[in-house]
Amino acid sequence: MLDVAGLDLTEVERERLRHPLVGGVILFSRNYETPEQVEALIREIHAVRGTDDPKLLVAVDQEGGRVQRFREGFTELPPVRNLGELYDENRKRAKRLAEASGWLMATELRAIDVDISFAPVLDIDLGVSAVIGDRAFHSNPEIVADLAHSYMNGMNRAGMAATGKHFPGHGSVAPDSHEELPVDDREYEDVHLLDLVPFERMIHFGLPAVMAAHILFPKIDRLAVGFSAFWLKEVLRARLGFQGAIFSDDLSMKGAAVMGDMPERAKAALAAGCDMVLVCNDPEAVDQVLDQIAPDNDPVSHLRLARLHGRHQVERTRLALDDEYRQAVHMVLNTV
């Protein structure tokens, strides 16, 4: 999965998207001007592939709060921490609002044909990680799982598959993996009893995808999570029974630099068990990856990713006339 530079595609980008190793595009704020413009960009992205070729996944980070790439023309979603605070007062109301929030976020994106938003965040807010902070539902792992389950149900009802992140949990480390590799010195049992709880619960509820964190647990494995077969194959697949798709976090982040140049990072992440790797904000590195990696035609991996394509697309211009949509907007903007 790669990114593009602007509001429409260049010829070089069209050629890049035709490469058989490219399976998706992630959009950022720089790709967004208006709903009409980004809808046209997504049509342009899909048009580069023939009807017999695999359809590209289109993704975005649209969590709400600090991390919402599309704003003007979209509902300004509050941070999910607000749902956790409400949960402490009224569990049922918070769960209803969590489902409405997931549905609203996903419905607005499906209306412009975005397949997935990388959400919900399953990290636990322990007051340690500034980069997570109010992106997390709560400090209690069971409450995180309860709210995330409702949020995922809302996304699913809108036709969008959920992606839990950042496996196995970013809430216990202060450094931002965009800037450096965070190191967590805990033993496996400590992580299992705390950070893994929301992932374990959500896998039981049918979580379709997970994004792996760039975090090193030196007492557990010598490799950072996104490059570790122990974490992805042994823990996530074998112990937790996860059968969905595994995404790497962006391999351009400084937390991934310990694995070498971009082709080495991509090869290591794929070998460890990732179904799709993200390479963003570095088109030269993308070309190096595409030149140096051989296609892997694993049918199981392809099937996992194919299941993430969006369903139930609605016409964006008709949303304002939809009673459920109007009620969801009112709930999300006025209840919290």
Other CB atoms within 10 Å distance of the CB of residue 49:
14
Residue among 184, 249, 250, 275 flagged as catalytic:
249
Are 319 and 312 in contact by the 8 Å Cβ rule? The answer is no
Which two tokens mark 217? Answer: 């647990």
Alpha-carbon span 162 to 239, nearest angstrom = 21
Are 257 and 288 in contact by the 8 Å Cβ rule? The answer is no
Give CA separation, 327 vs 82, 183, 298, in Å. Answer: 18, 44, 43
Residue among 178, 192, 302, 309 flagged as catalytic:
178
Helices (H), 90-232: 91-110, 141-157, 188-193, 196-204, 229
Query: What pairing do the DSSP bridges indicate for beta strands 245-250 and 276-278?
Result: parallel
Strand ranges across the sheet with 116-117: 24-27, 57-60, 116-117
DSSP secondary structure of 33-99: S-HHHHHHHHHHHHHTS-TTSPPPEEEE-EEETTEES--TTS--PPPTHHHHHHHHH-HHHHHHHHH
**Residue 249 is among the residues annotated as catalytic for this protein:** yes
Which two tokens mark 216? Answer: 């090193």
Phi and psi at 245, nearest 5°, equal -85, 145
DSSP state of 318: G
Give CA separation, 198 vs 47, 143, 154, 171, in Å. Answer: 38, 8, 17, 12
Which two tokens mark 227? Answer: 């490059």
**Residue 302 is among the residues annotated as catalytic for this protein:** no
Catalytic residues: 178, 249
